[in-house]
Amino acid sequence: EVLPGDPEVWKTALKAEHVDKEDTQAVANSVVRHVTTTLARQAANLDDIAAYQATALSVKDQLLKRWNETTTYHTKHAPKRVYYFSIEWLMGRSLDNAVLNLDMRNTYETATQKLGFNFEDLLNEERDAALGNGGLGRLAACYIDSMATLNLPGWGYGLRYSYGIFKQLISNTGEQLEAPDPWLDRENPWEIARIDVSYPIRFYGRVESIPNTSRAIWSGGTECLAVAYDVPVPGFATKNTANLRLWASRPIQGFDLNSFNAGNYEASVQSSSDAENITRVLYPNDNMYAGKELRLKQQYLWCSASLQDILRRYQKLDLSWEQLPDYVVIQMNDTHPTISIVELMRILIDEEEVPYDVAWKITTKVFAYTNHTVLPEALEKWPLPLFENLLPRHLQLIYQINLNFLNDVAKRFPGDMDRIRRMSIIEEGTPKFVRMAHLAIVGSFKVNGVAELHSQLLQSTIFRDFVEFKGRDSFTNVTNGITPRRWLLQCNPRLAQLITDTLGSEHWLVHLKQIAQLLPMADNAQFRAAFREIKNENKTRLAEVLASELNIQVDIDSVFTCQIKRLHEYKRQTLNIFGVILRYLQIKKATPEERKKFVKHTAIFAGKAAPGYYIAKLVIRLIVNVSKIVNNDPDVGHLLRVVFIPDYSVSVAEVLVPAADVSVQISTAGTEASGTSNMKLGLNGALLLGTVDGANIEIAEDVGEENAFLFGHLAADVDAVRYANSYNPTPLAERSPELAEVFKAIEANTFGDGHIYEPLLKPIYDNDYYLVSNDFGSYLAAERLVDELWRDQEEWTKKSIRTAFSMGDFTSDRSIQDYADSIWSIEPDPVPEN
């Protein structure tokens, strides 16, 4: 490498910058340098916030060196790369994760201690990067961790929202209130603003076709800029550092000079604030499509900027466009980035003058699409007039894509007009709609679901026509996974240490299958005691938080059941809270003698409801109001506690997950695509109480059905039960006498005004789409098995150990390896050690 200027000065300077992993003094120096220079603070008045920031900046310096080496190496080596397009990145906190991955946790802990700080306190000063709603956004975060760890050349692309998912407050009446999440107020030490990396983005305007070509000129409308912010993502125990590039929208100019000069100041700043508004806030819906123009602007800005960036990088290689798929693969996390298929076509045809058919051939070798839901209300479809107004050229290209596609369908299935109507990218009606999932399938070389059952259901139901047209090989499954670095090493350090000590090495953290070697330890009484001791310590830590933050006293000898996920009818938090209510009624009815026989329960709930989702919010209200009555009833004593933890987040999950005894995964069969909290909780030893749905099925298979509590109707039977519920409904008391008793108690104002819950209860009386009444009986039976097993703590611990150590397949390393092998065709490319 040629160094400019005096190479000796360079070498000495670079050497002075080097920090040895174990050099506490060098780490302290680097922290203090940030205190005194970057933050301009003095040692004497340094609070935890500033100490955290200086520590984070020091760690970022370490990451950036590795990031630089990785990008320099990959630029030279030019391997095929994967680009993971996700509109959500639910990263959580970075400091603990980074020092663990760098193998510098002890050094930083000691260094900050010597500077007068408690490292744990500093960790708690960090705000979560909560740029996601739930499973989909957290999946992207686990995946980029695994891409870095597996040394795969890959980048993430997303949006830098000024405000992440809203902060959830609970009012005195138990209602969810939303407040903004100002996560950037204290600045973000983990990002680097690349003001030199920005791209223009156009909206609206007009299209002029160029005669005798497929080309057109799109002009007019409004323009803004997408500016890059890079977040380095370290791999575990490797130099490779991935990049997460997030775009922020900015005006092209600070203000409009014409209006300004004419004295119209408001108008002069209007267009610039419109531009800034595009990436202002994350849309807070999960599994629910909203159809707002601003959201389509977000999607287009993100996709267009990312593609311009990728193509600029590719053009430096000086190859033909036909070779693009040998160097670039784009994985679409759901349909949100589908417009990038059309954007690539537009750039190739209109700007690069590639013939239409050649452009289509290239494009359809670049994209692959992951589906995350079969729920019809979640499928993205844009009203055609809105779409045409905002992206007129893209709509033209979609028409062309659709025309060619439907011609091919007609050739394969002559005369089958109904099939053509079903498969069209455009849905007929008033208005018409653009069906993004259809566009995503047509433009991709591979489509995958996120668990076996889900992938099967996709192929046999909503995408069936497409399987018949494109062939089975275009459809596959990649079961989700979670990173064991965050979801075991970081959140449960004592269990991680026990595993490392017993196995004699840390290799399991990158080869999770190895923990299966510990399965025989379930029969070792001493190991069981150690394992249980760790669980109890984690429960104690949670109990302390609940006491200090929520003023709720819980008994750590009770069984901690955890249902921690977004609120949604299909996830059936209802089943759980109705079960709690029944337990409460039974305790109330019991004699003091009988009460002694109850198993003590602590029912823990956490999760946010979409602000516009009335029924989901009502479920929160019911849970909170039940908790108030139950927790303060002297008849109940320690037999039952109900806890709703407000403002669920990644960092809250890191405290809950290691403390859970039971993992509550009770969606209506066929509705939860995969689930990932089932994996986090299982890996930390929680027993699965679940329906035969999503990844529960694969988890139960691996841990052994005798170690889990499965219940409920099967996916194959749901339609028939639904049909019976709505066309020939039997009274609720016949479907479930226990549930009828629960509803009666609610309606009798046992938990406050009963009538407010009518919108929640009535649909269950009337047609019970989610089979709450039909599954309640078998849910209660499963709970009885839980209670029975809890009475035998040795048996319980055996099953808990077997659960944890059977989770080897649910690491995101395995998922990412599956993607790399069967979809992306990319190889590890580790940065050489020097």
Site for ligand F55 (CB under 6 A): which residue of 372, 528, 539, 641?
A: 372
Angle between helices 614-631 and 573-589 (to 10 degrees): 20
Which residues pair with residue 89 across a beta bridge? 131
Q: What tokens does 688 get?
A: 């699965």
Residue 663, interface with ligand F55 (CB under 6 A)? no
Q: Does 139 bind ligand F55 (CB under 6 A)?
A: yes
Contact 619, 609 (CB under 8 A): yes
Q: Which is nearer to ligand F55, 298 or 627 (CB)?
A: 298
Secondary structure (3-state) at 367: strand
Give the nearer residue to ligand F55 in terms of CB position, either 672 or 775: 672
> Residues 633-654, buried b or exposed e (16+ Cβ, 10 A)?
eeebeebbbbbbbbbbbbbbbb
55 touching ligand F55, by CB under 6 A = no
> Can 566 be counted among the known catalytic residues?
yes
Q: Determine the Cα–Cα distance for residues 727 and 751; give it in Å rounded to an integer.
A: 32
- Of the residues 285, 402, 444, 663, which one makes contact with ligand F55 according to CB under 6 A: 285
d(CA 617, CA 452): 31
Among 133, 151, 168, 240, binds ligand F55 (CB under 6 A): 133
Size of the site for ligand F55 (CB under 6 A): 20
Q: Is 763 exposed, middle or buried (0-12, 13-18, 19+ CB in 10 A)?
A: middle
Q: Which stretch binds ligand F55 (CB under 6 A): 78-86, 211-219, 350-358, 372-380?
A: 372-380
- For residue 400, give the nearest of 357, 446, 462 by alpha carbon: 357
- 190 forms part of the interface with ligand F55 (CB under 6 A): no
DSSP codes joined into one string, 690-727: EES-TTHHHHHHHH-GGGSEEES--HHHHHHHHHHHHH
Min separation Cβ 565 and ligand F55, Å = 9
Q: Does 674 bind ligand F55 (CB under 6 A)?
A: yes
Alpha-carbon dihedral 698, 479, 91, 382, rounded to 10 degrees: -120
Q: Which residues fall within 8 angstroms of residue 417, CB to CB, at 6 or more apart?
A: none
Residue among 248 and 450 whose Cβ is closer to ligand F55 = 450
363 lies in the binding site for ligand F55 (CB under 6 A) = no
Q: Could you say which of 60, 393, 566, 735 is catalytic?
A: 566
Q: Does 616 bind ligand F55 (CB under 6 A)?
A: no
Q: Does 287 bind ligand F55 (CB under 6 A)?
A: yes
Q: Which of 286, 465, 569, 698 binds ligand F55 (CB under 6 A)?
A: 286
Cα–Cα distance measured from residue 209 to residue 227, given in angstroms and rounded to the nearest whole number? 30
User: Is 565 in the active site?
Assistant: yes
CB of 299 to ligand F55, least distance (A): 10
CB of 328 to ligand F55, least distance (A): 23
Q: Measured from the CB of residue 827, what is the shortest distance to ligand F55 in angstroms?
A: 25
Kindly state whether residue 673 participates in binding ligand F55, applying the rule CB under 6 A.
yes
If the CB atoms of residues 70 and 674 are measured against ligand F55, the closer one turns out to be: 674
107 catalytic per annotation: no
Other beta carbons within 10 Å of 55: 28
Q: What angle do CA 600, 606, 608 make, to 5 degrees?
A: 155
Using the contact rule CB under 6 A, the part of the chain among 21-29, 60-68, 383-391, 674-682 near ligand F55 is 674-682
CB 131 within 8 A of CB 137: yes
Using CB under 6 A as the binding rule, the residues of this chain from 288 to 347 that contact ligand F55 are: 289
**Of 741, 783, 736, 733, which is closest to residue 585 (Cα–Cα)?**
741
| Beta carbons of 296 and 386 less than 8 angstroms apart | yes
CB of 665 to ligand F55, least distance (A): 10
CA 644 to chain centre: 21
* Beta strands across the sheet bearing 426-427: 381-383, 433-435, 426-427
Nearest approach, Cβ of residue 640 and ligand F55 (Å): 29
Interaction of residue 602 with ligand F55, rule CB under 6 A? no
The C-alpha atoms of residue 823 and residue 366 are separated, in whole angstroms, by 10
Torsion of CA 437, 439, 444, 450, to 10 degrees: 0
For the CB of residue 578, give the shortest distance to ligand F55 in the complex, in Å. 22
Rounded Cα gap, residues 642 and 630, in angstroms: 7
Between 132 and 234, whose beta carbon lies closer to ligand F55? 132
Catalytic residue (one of 81, 105, 239, 565): 565
Q: Is 672 in the site for ligand F55 (CB under 6 A)?
A: yes
Give me the 419-458 binding string for ligand F55, x by CB under 6 A, dash otherwise. Answer: -------------------------------x--------
50 scored as a contact of ligand F55 (CB under 6 A): no
* Token pair listed for 5: 């200027």
Asked if 676 interacts with ligand F55 (CB under 6 A), we say yes
Q: Does 378 bind ligand F55 (CB under 6 A)?
A: yes
Task: Find the shortest distance in angstroms from Cβ 544 to ligand F55.
Answer: 31
Q: Which stretch binds ligand F55 (CB under 6 A): 96-104, 280-288, 495-503, 788-796?
A: 280-288
Among 151, 241, 232, 326, smallest CA distance to 829 is for: 151
With contacts defined by CB under 6 A, name the span among 129-137, 430-438, 575-583, 762-770 that binds ligand F55: 129-137
Query: Closest approach of Cβ 695 to ligand F55, in Å?
Result: 7
Q: To the nearest whole angstrom, how small is the minimum distance from the Cβ of residue 454 to ligand F55?
A: 8
Estimate to the nearest angstrom the gap between the alpha carbon of 523 and the chain centroid.
36
Residue 163, strand partner residues: 281
723 φψ region: left (φ > 0), alpha (ψ -120 to 50), beta (else): alpha
Q: How many CA atoms lie within 13 A of 14 on its CB side?
A: 8
Task: Write down the catalytic residue from 346, 485, 680, 713.
Answer: 680
Give just the sign of the alpha carbon dihedral 739, 745, 748, 753.
Answer: negative
372 among known catalytic residues: yes
Task: Assess 648 for contact with ligand F55 (CB under 6 A).
Answer: no
Contact residue for ligand F55 among 156, 251, 646, 675 (CB under 6 A): 675
Instruction: Examine the residue annotation and report whether 601 is marked as an active-site residue of this protein.
Output: no
In the bound complex, which residue of the shown chain has the CB atom lying closest to ligand F55?
135
What whole-number distance in Å separates Cα of residue 65 and Cα of residue 45? 30
Could you confirm whether 539 is annotated as catalytic?
no
Determine the interface stretch with ligand F55 among 6-14, 93-101, 130-138, 595-603 (rule: CB under 6 A): 130-138
Catalytic residue among 238, 561, 671, 676: 676
Could you tell me the smallest distance in angstroms from the CB atom of residue 166 to ligand F55?
A: 14
| Binding flag, residue 136, ligand F55 (CB under 6 A) | yes
- Expressed in angstroms, the distance from the first to the final Cα of the chain is 13
371 near ligand F55, rule: CB under 6 A: no
Site string for ligand F55, 466-505 (x = CB under 6 A): --------------x-------------------------
Binding site for ligand F55 (CB under 6 A): 133-136, 139, 285-287, 289, 372-373, 378, 450, 480, 672-676, 694
Q: Which are the catalytic amino acids?
A: 372, 565-566, 571, 676, 680
